[in-house]
Amino acid sequence: MDLGIKGKKAIVCAASKGLGKGCAIALARDGVDLTICARGDEALQATAAEIRKATNAKVTAIACDVTTEAGRKALLVACPNPDILINNAGGPPPGDFKNFSLEDWRKAVESNMISPIALIHATVYGMMDRGFGRILNITSYSVKAPIPSLELSNGARCGLTGAVAALARRTIAKNVTINALLPGPFDTDRLRGTSQKLAESKGVAFDTIHNERKKEVPAQRFGTAEEFGATAAFLCSAHAGYITGQNIVIDGGSYPGTT
Ligand code: NAP
């Protein structure tokens, strides 16, 4: 299917690996010019080169921390008028409510709520003036089914969801949509990292935990960054102009059970 977005410009945040990279590749395949970022320059440049080679797309790679004002400014200088914005960043660490400091909460809210709001604020009005815009927030299925060990994530991501819910109903009349994709377990470094920590805390092998988690997913497998990216690209397409304010779970059937 031609997604009707050839020549559009996209900012894809946190895209050297995992879900962000999956989104970037999918958009590039449909002829979108990309501005991507991540903190680590080496992996970012390697991903940019990989996408250019695979798709011939124009890819600008900005090594920056998207949760800082300076990082977001660098992205917007590279791509001042994006047609598509995919908000993404690393998730807050797991832990227990009892042990989280206010600083931990401020950091989680800054990274996973304020940063995407800042980028939306900087771009959404230009999109409305131009009559096209697609904003997609990568959050988590914890927005619909809170995950016990991820209270920082549950809180910050629900905050973002609420913050843009009404805006998404105002922008749609100008062909600007705001949606969120809520990943369940996807086979990325992040998921492998949490399996590794669980394995260490229980004193068992990584494979034992990772396979147990896989079996808990009704699909009997983890999702792939490619299928996440394909869904994201559709939501950013010309065909998705009637979808806004939605929080779409993509989780192999896990919700409302959690893995
Ligand atoms: P991942 O495989 O660890 O990849 C994270 C990517 O984001 C990397 O490219 C990383 O590069 C970049 N990044 C992280 N923090 C950044 C920052 N502050 N500024 C710029 N780039 C940053 O993670 P993932 O699995 O794709 O997860 C993406 C998001 O989805 C996370 O918020 C995660 O919590 C959420 N999520 C994932 C799953 C899952 O199963 N995978 C499930 C639910 C929610 P650098 O480290 O070099 O910056």
Percent over 70 (pLDDT), the chain: 98
Residue 14 has pLDDT above 60, yes or no: yes
Question: Is the CB of 38 inside a 6 Å radius of any atom of ligand 1?
Answer: yes
Element counts in the chain: helices (H) and strands (E): 9, 7
C-alpha span between 104 and 89 (Å, rounded): 16
CB burial of 195-221 (b: ≥16 within 10 Å; e: otherwise) equals beebbeeeeeeeeebbeebbeebeeee
C-alpha span between 245 and 232 (Å, rounded): 14
The protein residue whose alpha carbon is closest to atom 23 in ligand 1 is 190
Question: Is the CB of 84 inside a 6 Å radius of any atom of ligand 1?
Answer: no
- Which tens digit of pLDDT belongs to each residue from 27-84? 999 999 999 999 999 999 999 999 999 999 999 999 999 999 999 999 999 999 999 9
C-alpha span between 160 and 244 (Å, rounded): 15
Peptide bond just before 148 cis, omega within 30 deg:
no
Look at the block and give the residue holding tokens 């990082």.
Answer: 71
Q: What sign does the dihedral 167-170-174-178 (CA atoms) show?
A: positive
Cβ-contact 64, 42 below 8 angstroms: no
What pLDDT score was predicted for residue 255?
75
CA 131 / ligand 1 centre spacing (Å): 30
Beta strands in 174-234 (DSSP E): 176-183
SS3 136: strand
- Which tens digit of pLDDT belongs to each residue from 155-165? 999 999 999 99
Beta strands in the chain (DSSP E): 9-12, 33-38, 59-63, 84-87, 133-138, 176-183, 247-250
- Which tens digit of pLDDT belongs to each residue from 175-232? 999 999 999 999 999 999 989 988 999 999 999 999 999 999 999 999 999 999 999 9
The protein residue whose alpha carbon is closest to atom 15 in ligand 1 is 90
Question: Is the CB of 17 inside a 6 Å radius of any atom of ligand 1?
Answer: yes
- Which tens digit of pLDDT belongs to each residue from 122-164? 999 999 999 999 999 999 999 999 998 899 999 999 999 999 9
User: Greatest CA separation found in the chain?
Assistant: 56
Q: Is the pTM of this model over 0.95?
A: yes
Question: Is the CB of 188 inside a 6 Å radius of any atom of ligand 1?
Answer: yes
C-alpha span between 102 and 13 (Å, rounded): 26
